[in-house]
Amino acid sequence: MRFLQPLLAASLAAFSVAAAAQAWPERPVTMVVPFAAGGPTDVVARMIAIPMGRALGQPVTIENVVGAGGTIAATKVARAQPNGYTIFLHHMGMSTAPALYKKLQFDPLKDFEPIGQVVDVPMTLLARKDLPAGTFPELLAYIRANGTKVSLANAGLGAVSHLCGLLFQSAVGVELTTVPFSGTGPAMNALLGRQVDLLCDQTTQTVPLIRDGRVKVFGVTVPQRLAVLPDVPTLDEQGLKGFDVKVWHGMYAPKGTPQPVVEKLTAALRVAMQDPEVKKRLTDLSSDVAPLEKISPAGLRTHLEAEINRWGPVIRKAGVYAD
Ligand code: MLT
């Protein structure tokens, strides 16, 4: 009979994992956000946390874990207990990090369970309100005349504000002084406070500030003008041909999170993204909710893989990386 004991122990362990997955969630779920509170990733996270929590029957609370362009948070989530109580909202930084960071502590494809794609968000190129340039040609003349005296804020290596800033400097052929923050929330405060000159940031944060005239806007980063900002020209139409940056977001859990739990998380994310209030708010901020079939583990995995393959060669060719 003694040989049956290990078998019995294994079946009991499997049973208790299955029972825990069945009962999940029994307490609040933490959604880790890799940038500072108040910034665009945080805005999306807080918008969907409430309807997700309603769908799950437990609150979803936000934890901002900042630094190193989102990689500190990703490392923390990759090492978290895979029990469904830690989830992660990140943008396309998940796909650029492997090429940007030589000593990355996580593998985006191997260390996470994808839950689903979330939303696509365009960006805008902004300046402090008192920058002495009113039009895009005047901006170009100003930065050509002042070069590294002009400061360009971003949210660190791997942040999309960093990527957009790099593409902008390369397109206009001028090197500016970049100033990193823990997110574009604090970077925006510095722009509003006139401590930095320029910032490329997502419309989830910038649309209300542009409408209120609190910042100067010089262009949108996608090839078509935005319905919510019809008077703002694209960077492409102003001469930066092919300038096209749109920021996709995905939701993940640590690798090994039980499949029934991942399925419940995907279902809750789908409910949140179809919530009329969430959809309206995102549309007002010029953001596109991911199509339903992409709010799925397979949809996100396929997209993440394609994006890693797309950005890797571009970043390696540019020679931008952190040791
Ligand atoms: C943020 O939430 O602060 C931004 O997504 C940072 C960035 O990537 O630019």
Distance 36 CA to ligand 1 centre (A): 8
Q: Which domains, and CATH codes, for the chain?
A: 27-120+247-318 (3.40.190.150), 122-220 (3.40.190.10)
CA of 196 relative to ligand 1 center, distance in Å: 16
Which of 123, 201, 205 for a ligand 1 pocket mutation test, highest count of atoms within 8 Å of Cβ?
Answer: 201
Query: In the predicted model, what is the mean pLDDT of residues 263-272?
Result: 98
pLDDT at 1 over 60: no
Pocket test for ligand 1, best of 41, 95, 124 (most atoms within 8 A of CB): 41
Dump pLDDT digits (tens) for 64-105: 999 999 999 999 999 999 999 999 999 999 999 999 988 899
Cβ–Cβ under 8 Å, residues 143 and 176 = yes
- Tell me the pLDDT tens digit for each residue of 146-179: 999 999 999 988 899 999 999 999 999 999 999 9
- Global pTM? 0.91
Please compute the mean of the pLDDT values over residues 212-225 and round it to a whole number: 97
State yes or no: pLDDT of 188 exceeds 60. yes
Does residue 15 have a pLDDT over 90? no
What tens digit of pLDDT does each residue of 191-203 get?
A: 999 999 999 999 9
Q: Whose CA is nearest to atom 8 of ligand 1?
A: 159
| Segment 49-54 long-range contacts (CB within 8 Å, at least 24 positions apart) | 51/271, 51/272, 51/275, 51/277, 51/278, 52/268, 52/269, 52/271, 52/272, 53/28, 53/29, 54/271
**Residue 9 pLDDT greater than 80, yes or no:** no
Looking at residue 86, its pLDDT comes to: 98
Residue 122, pLDDT score: 98
- The pLDDT of residue 10 is 61
Cβ-Cβ contacts under 8 Å for 195 (sequence gap 6 or more) = none
